[in-house]
Amino acid sequence: MEPTPDSLTLTILGCGTMGVAILSGILSSLSTSLSTSLSRLPPSASGTSTPTGGALLPTRFHDASRTPTRLPSKFIACVKRPESASRVRRAFEGFAGAPAVEVYTGRNVEGVRGADVVILGCKPQMYAEILREEGMREALEGKLLVSILAGVKIAALRVVVPYSTRVVRAMPNTASMIRESMTVISAEDDISPEEKALVSWIFSQVGRSLVLGEKHMNACTALCGSGPAFYALIVEAMADGGVMMGLPRAEAQMMAAQTMQGAGRMVLAGHHPAIIREQVSTPAGCTTHGLLILEDGKVRSTIARTIREATNMAAGLGKK
């Protein structure tokens, strides 16, 4: 896929785990082999090839009638250390038919200067240092900056970028790597419909996305950004229970993961979680007895307070 006059250059500034996940998802969508296979499948409202089996719950930020007129076809990944550069290059091997990713080591300003769209993916505590690097302000003139930093508000970013730089916040998660992310996007009124469509397109390549006001972003960071770790712990615990009762580890882990995925897809298809629980809970049955143990362990309140704690932590990240 060669750049054209109507195409854009996308730079990941601070291409760590999440940057690699986002670019991998986009490259997967642009890969010739994947595109060929997807063309044989019905479209999915989640932005992936997997049908959801029913109506979606929230309205997505993406509007198919407002597909951007210009799409990225050149990609730059900016990293700090040579070992990081090697890791990033290895991550992008094997995307047949997709454009190559140029990896810049210690050349942030050059990477931003050559971009039309910049995704800021550094650690939240480092954003001011990176954006105040000599020459960076000039490099950002007139660019679209998409921040995926937890806890850093749009207003804080505006302080260190030129007035002509448009700023959008997005909170994807690590499932971008397999195009199953849940991304929440927040944009102010100065973002044009074309740029909103472009941001939507980017994150629709790696999963499902929706738009919410910025006041909700810390909670979204906890629920979506940290959520995969919380769910992974639950899957691990479920598998441990299976192993305790004699199941082989690999099979128990697979069953736990598939069961969680199935329940999640039922919710996305419109089934309320409480209804799913009631449908499985027959009187005096094994599910009812198991749920009693969960309630005894205060699992419901513990998980809810987990989200509260992660939300509060996200709110302080940009201030440290």
User: What residues form the annotated binding site for NADP(+)?
Assistant: 13-18
Give 166's strand partners: 144
User: Angle, nearest 10°, between helix axes 227-244 and 249-268?
Assistant: 130
CA distance 316 to 36: 45
Q: What is the full DSSP assignment across 119-174?
A: EE-S-GGGHHHHHTSTTHHHHTTT-EEEE--TT--HHHHHHTS-TT-EEEEEE--G
Q: Are 311 and 219 in contact (CB under 8 A)?
A: yes
Place of tokens 């740029």: 195
What are 32's two structure tokens? 């010739």
Binding site for NADPH: residue ranges? 108
Among the listed residues 75, 79, 109, the one whose alpha carbon sits nearest the alpha carbon of residue 92:
75
For the beta carbon of residue 48, count every other beta carbon within 10 angstroms.
Answer: 23
Binding site: residue ranges? 13-18, 108
Among the listed residues 60, 56, 30, 72, the one whose alpha carbon sits nearest the alpha carbon of residue 184:
60
